Amino acid sequence: MIVEPGMVEALKKATSTVAPIPTVIPGADPIYQTAGDVGNRTLWAVCIIMALSSLAFYGMAFRQPVQKRLFHILTAFITTFAFLSYFAMASGDGISLNKTVITESHKHVPDTEQIIYREVYWARYVDWSVTTPLLLMDLALMAGLSGANILVAIVADVIMVLTGLFAAYGKGDGQKWGWYAWACIAYLVVVYQLAVNGRSTVASKDSKTKAFYGAIAGFTLILWTVYPIIWGIADGGRLVGLDAEIISYAVLDVLAKPVFGFWLLFTHDSMSSTSPSLEGFWSNGFGSQGTLRVGDD
């Protein structure tokens, strides 16, 4: 085709006067809910707190004879796992986006869809699935809870964390809150073991252990109950951003692990002996008590 002079200009003029073809937009652009600088710095700060507390707890453990180290070791493992999980989250691991589609109905026009991508810090759930059973072990052994009750508390606790993880990845609100409901029921089983069975078991112990268990188990139950509330506002309802979520969990985690740990270990070290049979088991294993018979070397 031969291009005559002026044809290009004429074509440009003609096309520029054509209005853009109207498009029907079924919904707004996706919303991304991700962490900012404040959140990231908070994660690093907690990572350092967990590292330093772990070192302190291992140090306190080595100042005790083996039979008295059980609580120190449990507590040091708790902050070690927390350190690893905070290191993962602060450096960008253990995080993924969860897509939720919200359908909005309108009076005279068809329904529209709003897509929300929100970060889920799944490393938290990995941490909780290991550290909350260890925290429960600290309390259960302090109270002298039976093996049967300890097992129920730990299984319920693991169910709580895993169903909580499924809730965080729920595709729609029905699925999300359904999982949340199972997690809350499991949590109530944990509360029952600590508040009812734990209290009745510790009643047969000395007055110092009784008072201490009442205080530290009460502190734990209040603190733990705040977690599902934060979850409901942040992950569940998406009412607050990621930075607020990170800061809230950071405060709770520092109280539930290092503060809990220092309180437990300083009090434990100032007591004579919380449980001689437990100490015997920790240094010599099961069945070591009373196995020394007359005639043995």
Footprint on this chain of ligand RET (rule: CB under 6 A): 82, 128, 131-132, 135, 160-161, 164, 167, 180, 183-184, 187, 224, 227-228, 231, 253, 256-257
Residues in CB range of 190: below 8 A, 6 or more apart: 136, 153, 156, 157, 160, 224
64, 65, 70, 73 alpha-carbon torsion, rounded to 10°: 50
DSSP state letter for 172: S
**Helix 207-231 to helix 242-254 angle, to the nearest 10 degrees?**
170
* Min separation Cβ 61 and ligand RET, Å: 20
Nearer to ligand RET, 75 or 282 (CB): 75
Nearer to ligand RET, 70 or 139 (CB): 139
- Cα 274 to Cα 227: distance, rounded to the nearest angstrom: 30
In which order are the strands placed within the sheet that holds 95-104? 31-33, 112-121, 95-104
* Min separation Cβ 56 and ligand RET, Å: 17
* Min separation Cβ 147 and ligand RET, Å: 22
- 280 neighbors 289 (Cβ within 8 angstroms): yes
HSE (CB half, 13 Å, CA atoms) of 246? 28
Burial class (CB in 10 A: 0-12, 13-18, 19+), 241: middle
* Min separation Cβ 33 and ligand RET, Å: 17
* Min separation Cβ 281 and ligand RET, Å: 26
Nearer to ligand RET, 179 or 212 (CB): 179
| Residue closest to ligand RET when measured from CB atoms | 164
Q: How far is CA 36 from the centre of its chain?
A: 20
Nearer to ligand RET, 169 or 281 (CB): 169
* Min separation Cβ 24 and ligand RET, Å: 39
Nearer to ligand RET, 42 or 132 (CB): 132
| Helix/strand/coil for 135 | helix
Nearer to ligand RET, 178 or 228 (CB): 228
Nearer to ligand RET, 122 or 231 (CB): 231
* Min separation Cβ 276 and ligand RET, Å: 29
Q: How many residues are given for the chain?
A: 297
